Amino acid sequence: MKPKTANRAPAIGQQALICKVGLSDIAPIFNLIQECSLLGCFSKLYLQPRYQAGLALQLFGVWLMRKIRLPGGDWHKADLQVLRCQDKFAGFMLIRYQMPSGVDREIYMCAIEKQYRGRGLGKLLIQELFDGMAAGQCIEADCLPNAITMKHLLANLGFQNVTPGQKSVSMVTAKKFRYCR
Q: 7-52 pLDDT, tens per residue?
A: 444 443 458 899 999 999 999 999 999 999 999 899 999 999 999 9
pTM of the model: 0.86
What pLDDT, on a 0 to 100 scale, did the predictor assign at position 131?
87
What pLDDT shows up at residue 9?
42
Q: What domains, with CATH codes, occur in the chain?
A: 16-135 (3.40.630.30)
3-state secondary structure 115-158: HHCCCCHHHHHHHHHHHCCCCCCEEEEECCCCCHHHHHHHHHCC
**What's the one-letter identity of residue 16?**
A
Give pLDDT, residue 4. Answer: 54
**Residue 103, pLDDT score:** 78
pLDDT in tens, 89-128: 999 999 999 766 667 899 999 999 999 999 999 999 999 8
